[in-house]
Amino acid sequence: MGSTPVAITGLGLVSAVGASVTALRAALDRGQSGLRRLTLFESELASEFPVGQYDGDLVADFASVRRKLGAREIKRLSRSDLLALCATAQAVNQSGLADAALSPAGVYLGHSVCGTNRSEAYYIDCFRRAQDGREQTRAGIANLMVHEAAQSVDAIAREYGLCGPSTSLMTACSSGANAIGRAAWLIRQGRADVMIAGGTDSLSRITLNGFNALQLVASDGPRPFDAERKGMTVGEGAGVLVLESLDHARKRGAKILALLSGYGHSCDAHHLTAPHPQGAGAFAAMKSALIDAALQPGDIGYVSAHGTSTPDNDKTEALAVSRLFGEGAVPVSSTMRFFGHALAASGAIKAVVCVDAIQRRTLPQNLGLRTPLTESRLDLVREPRAAANLRHVISNSFGFGGNNAVLVFSRESGPAA
């Protein structure tokens, strides 16, 4: 995107640390993790593993910032839908775009879990009815009607009357980042002036149980890039950005928070769950994003790592970062211990973190670090670090199947350092 960067004019966030960018900043500054005991649903794992759960009332949160959808429609929304709507309302409100100006806009969202928690509730209800000898045919099917990923996109489109391109993307944990990158591409191609883009995912039994079955979750929470890391923590949330062509944003006098100046994506083509052992796909996606932004590795002032805290991910990502930038050549941190791994939403949440870093010229810390990994030397940010000359940051999102997405964010002063 080097010659035609895309403006970011609105940010929205719901996560384990709260439902606002203000809450995010407070947590980052204090080094306060949002991980806690699971209360959203019953699980035998609740006492053993913390989660990144949002504890607020999403319906009330949505009503406090924006609400045109009726009560009946609200009842039909999944938790993932509500997370997305709350984050979108924050982002649109900050952008200052009126409904009439939004009508031609579109929405791209990344998903993974979608409405699975509602589908699980339906299954459990049917199972218990069968055990009790009751008729299963009397179980309501409303929970099944909100399972699809497209439900969140459709709800946002209805709420704001969006008539532009609308798509749900599912590339595992890189979904949100890919949605942002692809939405920006539409703007670059002149197919849209404004796009709403991000990712959303809620906690569910199948994800918590599934990652536990893979032995990827840790009882003491994630410690990204630590030599003794034991695994990840499952989380939930939504991150949403309002993207505009730079000309469109400037003409209407919008406050430009940052630029989305580069996007790269790749596939490891290696394994269903394990990353390439040398980080080949991660390296390729980062390099592609830099080329797209017309930047050199030395121009990057911070790497927001995927950093899930699993043994393989952190090792291979460290190798890829060191190969591209040089060992210890660029500050690196993962914010995974603040939010948990919010799956498809993680890349979009990190996008908000990156824009905040650019605005405040402060790098977020790698919370939970005790002893840095030894596979490759990284300049890990141990405490919030001032970065007065920060101009460009890179954000990594790597998913199962080797689905890699990388975004480059820049200050409005220009894409070239």
Report the distance separating Cα 50 and Cα 373, nearest Å.
23
Cα 151 to Cα 168: distance, rounded to the nearest angstrom: 9
The per-residue b/e assignment along 24-56, b for 16 or more CB within 10 angstroms, e otherwise, is: bbebbeeeebbbeebebeebebeeebbbbbbee
Helix 58-65, helix 79-95: angle, nearest 10: 20
- Decide: 15 and 265 in contact? Cβ < 8 Å: no
Question: CA 96, CA 88: separation in Å to the nearest integer?
Answer: 12
* 393 φ/ψ angles, rounded to the nearest 5 degrees: -130, 155
Is the Cβ–Cβ distance between 52 and 233 less than 8 Å? Answer: yes
For residues 175 and 199, give the distance between their C-alpha atoms in angstroms, rounded to a whole number.
7
3-state helix, strand, coil in the chain (%, to 5): 40, 20, 40
Which member of 111, 147, 306, 392 is catalytic? 306
Q: Quick check: is 114 catalytic? A: no
Active site residue 248: no
Three-class DSSP category at 206: helix
Please check whether residue 310 is in contact with residue 232, taking contact to mean a CB–CB distance below 8 angstroms.
Answer: yes
DSSP 7: E
Is 173 noted as a catalytic residue in this protein?
Answer: yes
β-strand partners of 232: 217
Active-site choice (86, 111, 147, 173): 173
Active-site residue (options: 111, 265, 276, 341): 341
Which residues have a catalytic role annotated?
173, 306, 341
